[in-house]
Amino acid sequence: MDAQAYFNNLKSQGFDDEDALSHTNRFYPDFSSNPTANVGNHNSWISQNFQRIASECYPDDEGAVFTIADMRNNGQVIEVIAHSNPSIGNDPVRYDFIIINGVPALESTSTPNPDGSWSPFFSTGVSSTPAPTAHIPVVHQTHPPQQQQQQMNQYPPQQQQQQQQMSQYPPQQQQMGQFAAQQQPSMQGQPMQAYGQQGMMMQQPVGVGTRSKIVTFLLGFFLGVFGVHNFYLGKTGLGITQLLITILTFGLGVIITGPWALIESILALVSSNFRDGDGMPLSD
């Protein structure tokens, strides 16, 4: 449930505009009942939530601090370029956000190439409206014991037993249980859908790729000046760059491509974040 749907839900329960907006802003601070007012809040929302979003992209690098260096909005995609400390193995990284139901959602990330272009790092697979965790407003309704007993008698015996069990819990847990019971029938026979929090769907690559750490290290160590290891990894652009530097300088370029390839070879062997051209981790 996004902010607008949450606001509309409160309105349907009888809240006026002011009260519904007040409740909504408790969980969605940037929301405004005027849709056009939300447009300028996207960059602010990303800035406030970026540390959490980037950290969820790299669960193996817990504790890394991500700093936004640049943010551009071209009308369709919000491009965020950020650094990490300590480095996640690729720095900087570009994060592309799209707007879904008025909330920015991370779509993909990219890493820079020496020629200034960007190579896909991984994609979140955002292709449909996400379903962030909904905050259900608690509306306490109290009834005299006699009236409550009369209402329970209207239910079948099985539901009466459920109501009696729920009466043992605090009012907030009672309402959450009622909400789950109302939602359960609508979920029967429907496939589970991926979800995210705050409008973001994070689907990272699962498993490892078919390219080997050992093979990458050996190719980079012995033939790295010609970019052979990058051709093996599927990073054709990097491979061509290293090959041209070595050939066009009649071999003098090895003072650049040699250390470059050696560093990449070592990272491929020891770093858990080193990925191939398809964004997949290398296999052991």
pLDDT, one tens digit per residue, over 134-156 is 445 554 444 454 555 555 555 55
96-to-44, 93, 198 alpha-carbon distances in Å: 15, 10, 16
Residue 250 carries which DSSP code?
Answer: T
Q: Which two tokens stand for residue 31?
A: 């929301």
Encode pLDDT of 245-255 as tens digits.
999 999 999 99
Residue range 112-126, pLDDT digits in tens:
998 888 888 776 655
Higher-pLDDT residue of 17, 1: 17
* Residue closest to 105 by CA, chosen among 36, 155, 45, 39: 45
| Pairing state between β 93-100 and 78-85 | antiparallel
Determine the residue type at 220. G
**Average pLDDT, stretch 88-106?**
83
- pTM of the entire structure? 0.33
Mean pLDDT, all residues of the chain: 76
**Greatest extent of the chain over all pairs of C-alpha atoms, in Å:** 96
- Which amino acid would we find at residue 255? I
Tell me the CA distances in angstroms from 110 to 95, 107, 176, 183, one per residue in order. Answer: 7, 11, 41, 39
Instruction: Supply the DSSP symbol for 236.
Output: H
In order, the DSSP letters of 36-65 are GGGGGGHHHHHHHHHHHHHHHH-GGGTT-E
* C-beta separation of 78 from 72 below 8 A: yes
